[in-house]
Structure formats: C-alpha cells, structure tokens
Amino acid sequence: MVAPDSVTIRSLDEIVQYYRSINPARNLFVGIEWERSGVFAKTLEPVQYAGPQGYNAVLHKLVDEVGWEIVQHEGEDIYELQRGQTRITIEGDGRLELAGSPQEIVHDLAREFRIHSHEVEEIGKALGITWMPMGLQPLHSNEQISLVGKARYSIFKDVGDPDLMATMTRRTNGLTANLSFTNEENAIKKAQTAFRVLPIVSAMFACSPFDQGALTSNLDLRRKVIQNHCPERTGIPPNILDDGFCLKDWLKYYADLPVILVSENSKQVRPDGDFSFQQWMENGYRDRFPTLKDFDQHIKTTWSDMRLRPAYLEYRVADSVPFRSVLALPALMKGLLFDSDSWRTVAELTEDWTYEEIIDMDRRSWTGGLSTDVRGVSLRMYAQEALLLANEKLRGFSRMNAENADERIYLQPLKEQIFIKEESFAEELSRLFTTEWNGNIRNLLSWCA
C-alpha cells in the first residue's frame, strides 16, 4: 500500500480518516521482510556494496539472469528491485532485504521465499559469498563496513547515539512480519495482542549473541542496539493497552515526533530547524505542507518493534534467522492474531501484565533469554503456550498445500527449538560455540546455511 503524494494534509484527523478508509474487510494477508549480511566464504571478509563481487553485483545478476526489474538506481548503482509485488531493497551497507508480496496463505509466501532464497544462494556462490542471516553481522566492526552513498544514511548518522546508529545501519538484520487489519477495532486488537506477546516472540527469535567474532553476554544484541540508539524514535505508545486506545492515539504519537527527513526536488534531505510533523501540518515548511506519503516516510524514520502502516502492522521484534526458520514467524503471528479467540486467550495468558512489566521483561530477556523470570515462572513456559495456541489456530484454518499439509508445518523449526532443545537460536549458538565448536567462529557459516 503506497500512501498518496497528491493531496496535502493539514490535520491529524485527515490522517486518521485515511487509515480508516483503506482497509478491506476481506483478504487478510501476511507479509514478510528478511535481511541478511554476506561475507566471503574463503576469507570471511565482509561483503561491501561496491566492486565486482559486492552487493551491487548481486543485484545486477538478479536483473540480468533471473528477471528482476530495477525500480531505483543512480547510474550503475542499484538500490531497489521488483518482480511482481515482491521487492528487494538494500540497507545501509548494501546488504539485501527481501520484502515478500502479501499473501493470504503462508504456503504461497513460502513458495515465493524458496524461489528468492535459491536465486540469491546460487548467485552468491558464483561470487564467493555466503550469507549470514543473524540479528547482528557477527564477525566485523562498523569501521570494516562501508555505507552506500544514499542520502538517507548520511542523514541518519546524526540521529541518536552515533556509534549505535553506525551499528544499526551497517550490521543489524531483522525479520519482520506484516499483518493486515480490516478496520480500526481489528487493528487495535491485533496491536494489543502483538504487544502482549512481544517479549515472548523476542526471546524465541533472539539470534545475535556474537559481536566482532566474539561471544558476548547478550543474546539479542540487535534489539539492544536499536532500542538504545534513539529512545524517542524506538518506542511504542505507553497507553497501547488502555481500553480506549485508538488509531488516533498511535498516529498522534508519530505526529508529535521531530521530522528528520523531507523530500525536496526528489531528494531526501535533513530539514533546517526542529519541528514535529504536527507542526509541519499546521505551519508548513518552506511553503510546502506535507502529504500522506510524507507521513508514511516519517513513520519509516522510526524504529520501534511495532509500526502502524496503512492497512497493516509491521511486527519488527524478531532477529533474522536462517531460511529454514524464517516462515515460523509469519505462521506464529497468523495463528496468534488472525482469530479473535486468540486475542482473548493471549489476554488471559498475560493477564494483568502492565506496559512497564512487558517492556522490563523484554529487556531482561536480551540477556536472560527464555529463562527470564516472569512472576515466578520462566518466559519459556509462555513461549510454549503461545506456540501451542498458534498451532491449534493454524490447524483450524486448514489451509492446505499440494502435499495436504496445513500451515502448522512452518512452526516445526520453532517447536524443535522451544520444546525439544528448550533454547532460542542465540542460546543454541552460545552452547555450540563453547562446546562442540570449541570457539571456532567459522562454524557459523554452516549453521547459517
């Protein structure tokens, strides 16, 4: 859903009305965004954007060899590709992000991702690249990785903590589930449910225990970096669990934030002076008032765990994980959010959890993982309960593939982690590194494959 750029907006009510008007009451969909860094298999050196074996070379091969179309570029530098409704964009250093097309059925999402993953794997092999889908690029420092020449990232370097922003733009990799809603009530119920399970999902998908080749005391370094680099732009409205919480409350939360990026003459620039989006709507900036597209761009300069977009929620809690486990996130969130009975069950499971408690247990889980204490029991127990609930709902949806299997098959890797190994991806990596791998970081390559 692309926000229109033709009509100016002068009040928050106009934004609210737009959000209320665009959501169909049918065709609920789930989408996914997946980021991953590359290193050269022989040397373990980081892949850069430029050069004959860089990320830009990968993008050119996707165009030349498998039919992707260029959407955005500057000369020979490609910044975005598209095929159908599927897009490939780049992050700050050029690493790839696949944004899958919205699908009603996870099987269709899985097919699309298998095709993409196979293409990128084959092209990577031809260039000597191996991919590391983990929450934080685990082998290198920020100084070893160059930024691309896009203005957006030059603007971001002055936002928040500069060292953490440098890490975020160069080395963090997330796995995002995009979850559609049908109307305002549906959006709020899904958002509240998604927030209640935030520390549970975060702990399950933690996959960033390494930094610059060394094991750290953290399990989710990616979230630690993002949440601490600029707190005012990474939060979730503190009244999200209130009975009267509505779209206007959330949109006001965004509108009250400072504007850090505007478009001028088709280029993104940092505005002169300090003003909020609300002030831009009221007073204008350089004789121009914002459009809905400007507001959507403004939201994309926030980095919270949940973002409200036109027609869908972005759920940005999970670290990037290897392909074998990627589809577990959209399957899990579909099971937890796409049935009203699930909302009630999650509310009962997390009964009386306050906003402050949820934020606190989430932050404690960055080091405590699934063993994090929650009122005398471990977060692992809540993870197991959430998995069982999602499993039951997906069984009830009964969306079958050609092999007559329903969408529960995509939860299998997560079930193995949580019920059999009883550890997150990061906890497994920490255990392997200190035991079977004997401290040899190169073993990460085969684990990520």
Residue indicated by tokens 């509310």: 347
- According to the model, what pLDDT value does residue 363 have? 98
- According to the model, what pLDDT value does residue 91 have? 97
- According to the model, what pLDDT value does residue 23 have? 73
- According to the model, what pLDDT value does residue 25 have? 62
Classify the C-alpha dihedral 20-298-147-2 as positive or negative. positive
Q: Dihedral of the CA atoms 22, 23, 27, 29 (nearest 10)?
A: 100
User: CA 69, CA 334: separation in Å to the nearest integer?
Assistant: 30
- According to the model, what pLDDT value does residue 204 have? 99
Residue type, 129: I
Whether the predicted model's global pTM rises above the 0.95 cut: yes
User: CA 173, CA 380: separation in Å to the nearest integer?
Assistant: 24
- According to the model, what pLDDT value does residue 210 have? 99
User: CA 187, CA 246: separation in Å to the nearest integer?
Assistant: 9
Binned average pLDDT, 10 residues per bin, the chain of 449 residues: 77 96 79 98 98 99 98 97 96 97 96 96 98 99 96 91 97 98 95 99 99 99 98 97 98 98 92 97 96 97 97 98 99 98 98 97 99 98 99 98 98 99 99 98 98
Half-sphere exposure of 70 (CA within 13 A, CB side): 16
Residue 185: exposure state from Cβ atoms within 10 A (0-12, 13-18, ≥19):
exposed
Contact 160, 312 (CB under 8 A): no
CATH class of 26-243+291-448: alpha beta
- According to the model, what pLDDT value does residue 49 have? 99
- According to the model, what pLDDT value does residue 266 have? 84
- According to the model, what pLDDT value does residue 105 have? 97
Spans of all domains in the chain = 26-243+291-448
- According to the model, what pLDDT value does residue 7 have? 82
